Amino acid sequence: MTEQLRLMAVHAHPDDESSKGAATMAKYVSEGVDVMVVTCTGGERGSVLNPQLQGDAYIEANIHEVRRKEMDEAREILGVSQEWLGFVDSGLPEGDPLPPLPQGCFALEDVDTAAGELVRKIRSFRPQVITTYDENGGYPHPDHIMTHKITMVAFEGATDTEKYPEAEFGPAWQPLKLYYNQGFNRPRTLALHEALLARGLESPYGEWLERWKDFAGKERTLTTFVPCSEFFETRDKALIAHRTQIDPDGGWFRVPMEIQKEIWPTEEYELSKALVPTSLPEEDLFAGIRDNA
């Protein structure tokens, strides 16, 4: 009864959906699951990271429009629907000390108010499963951390008709599971790194692994491993569609596809909330839901 299953992926910027859980989404779309990406900001302050496009005056002057068109292309490739929350990119502050965030940006919004906009999307789409980032944002970008905050509030708030009245936000809905994207994890990175070296190939992960040694943060718990290797090409195609953000000759694509599929054929998640019984580890984001759909 997969036509009744709905997955919502909440992301900070256009391109995040294609680098975090994209193969999983494409897999579920192929099974008839209704998948929606919610993008919190327009990515207006994102730098042009593709060296082939740096210095392009049109792109720099129209970055908001360009990134929307890239998102449209990636959405079509993945087969998902997509909605914007309409907040303004906060940018990634750099320097010591860090400069203040720009006024009016997403990260400075009131959390409960911003979460209300996501509540509208949840109540309208009615997903059983939601994915987003952990409390560190996956990495400490202020928009990623804010995305985590509003998703946590909206997961509970979607049923709270006093805080978010039905007359304004739509009929209440209870999502059943909430996951954190954990695709960038140390076990996966180490496995691919060692596989490349064993084959006499260069690994792009050496510096990553060195930095991990000094990382004092929480070791994440991987609870859910979704087999989706047949959709890795779709993932990469969607990611390349975000051409201002992705160098097609860069590190994202230096691991041969056959090695990726052989060594690590899954995408990983951390189960944060579950209102249905499930047994860990899982292979399905809808475990505990599918039989009762």
Looking at the structure, tell me whether residues 120 and 190 fall in a common domain. Answer: no
Looking at the structure, tell me whether residues 115 and 56 fall in a common domain. Answer: yes
Contact 260, 205 (CB under 8 A): no
State yes or no: 13 annotated in a binding site: yes
- Rounded to two decimals, what is the model's pTM? 0.95
Q: Which of 163, 198, 219 is the last residue of a domain?
A: 219
With CA atoms as reference, report the closest residue to 35 among 43, 26, 48, 44.
26
Looking at the structure, tell me whether residues 173 and 36 fall in a common domain. Answer: yes
Looking at the structure, tell me whether residues 107 and 250 fall in a common domain. Answer: yes
Looking at the structure, tell me whether residues 177 and 251 fall in a common domain. Answer: yes
State yes or no: 16 annotated in a binding site: yes
Crossing angle, helix 186-198 and helix 206-213, to 10 degrees? 140
Does residue 8 sit in helix, strand or coil?
Answer: strand
Q: Which residues have CB under 8 Å from 257's CB, separation 6+? A: 232, 233
Tokens (6 digits) for 232: 């890795």
Q: What is the pLDDT along the chain (293 residues), one digit of tens a residue?
A: 445 999 999 999 999 999 999 999 999 999 999 999 999 999 999 889 899 999 989 998 999 999 999 999 999 999 999 999 999 999 998 887 888 999 999 999 999 999 999 999 999 999 999 999 999 998 889 999 999 999 999 999 999 999 999 999 999 999 999 999 999 999 999 999 999 999 999 999 998 888 877 665 567 899 999 999 999 999 999 999 999 999 988 878 999 999 999 999 999 999 999 999 999 999 999 999 987 65
- Tell me how many domains the chain contains: 2
Looking at the structure, tell me whether residues 227 and 158 fall in a common domain. Answer: yes
Tokens (6 digits) for 28: 């579920």
Looking at the structure, tell me whether residues 107 and 209 fall in a common domain. Answer: no
Looking at the structure, tell me whether residues 206 and 175 fall in a common domain. Answer: no
Kindly report the CATH number assigned to the domain that includes residue 57: 3.40.50.10320
Looking at the structure, tell me whether residues 128 and 210 fall in a common domain. Answer: no
Q: Which of 197, 219, 241 is the last residue of a domain?
A: 219
What is the domain extent for residue 59? 2-184+221-292
Looking at the structure, tell me whether residues 83 and 105 fall in a common domain. Answer: yes
With CA atoms as reference, report the closest residue to 155 among 43, 75, 32, 38.
38
Looking at the structure, tell me whether residues 71 and 180 fall in a common domain. Answer: yes
Looking at the structure, tell me whether residues 259 and 280 fall in a common domain. Answer: yes
